[in-house]
Chain A
């Protein structure tokens, strides 16, 4: 069950700043649990940022991104009320997305 996401999009000087937090263990497949068993690989692979329904950033990431990833992106220009959507897909097929309006 994917955990919650949080996002904030604010207008900067000539750009829009998008900060998004994802709740995800980002397991590397090399960590051992308390019983000494390897915790299987579990990490986000794909990330998409959309503005008003149009994709602007497509990312492919590895298990080397830290747990509960926080990403900052910058978008050209932008206006108050623009709809930003961020979605992710992990290696076990789980997915989640969140939406926010530029403030």
Chain B
């Protein structure tokens, strides 16, 4: 009896713990959201205070929406995460970076933008959220073909 119970426990552990771990690793709901508001809600972000300590370096006009260079950094003490959202993309949430001890809240990456849009960068610091916005004009979209 004990052996059967243990076998069931192991089966449950394999079957259930794994999907849960995968869920934590990639937030399917947030990345599948079609509006920026829904995406942020799925990430547990409600109100975010505008902050001048959040920097977004992105071109004002991007000629090619398939490659829009953005550089983001936070000077807010205790920043543990940076989130990038392009409001008008089909799936607005682009990335979430979690920084642990040893990393600076800084990322540079190229992203795709379907059309002209506000790019919002949010920071998480000490349980609070901060936001900065920059509009990027896109002349040729980068989501289709």
Contacts and interface: CB of A to CB of B under 8 A. Distances in A.
Interface of A: 15, 26, 28, 30-32, 45-46, 49, 51, 54-67, 69-76, 89
B145 interface: yes
A75 B89 contact: no
Interface residues of B, number: 36
Given A30-B145, A61-B94, A62-B94, A74 B103 contact: yes
Contact of A64 (B71, B102, B107, B111): B111
Contact of A56 (B27, B67, B101): B101
A26 to B, nearest CB: 8
A71 B110 CA distance: 8
Contacts of B143: 28, 30, 64
A2 to B, nearest CB: 17
Contacts of B86: 64
B126 interface: no
B104 A64 contact: no
Given A56-B100, A56-B103, A57-B99, A70 B94 contact: no
Contacts of B26: 45-46, 60
Contacts of A70: 109-110
B25 interface: yes
A75 B112 contact: no
A46 B21 CA distance: 13
Contacts of B66: 66-67
B110 A69 contact: yes
12 contacts: A30-B143, A30-B145, A54-B100, A55-B100, A58-B100, A62-B95, A64-B91, A64-B94, A70-B110, A71-B107, A73-B106, A73-B107
Interface string B1-30: 000000000000000000000000111000
A72 B91 contact: no
Interface string B104-145: 101111111100000000000000000000000000001111
A46 B71 CA distance: 19
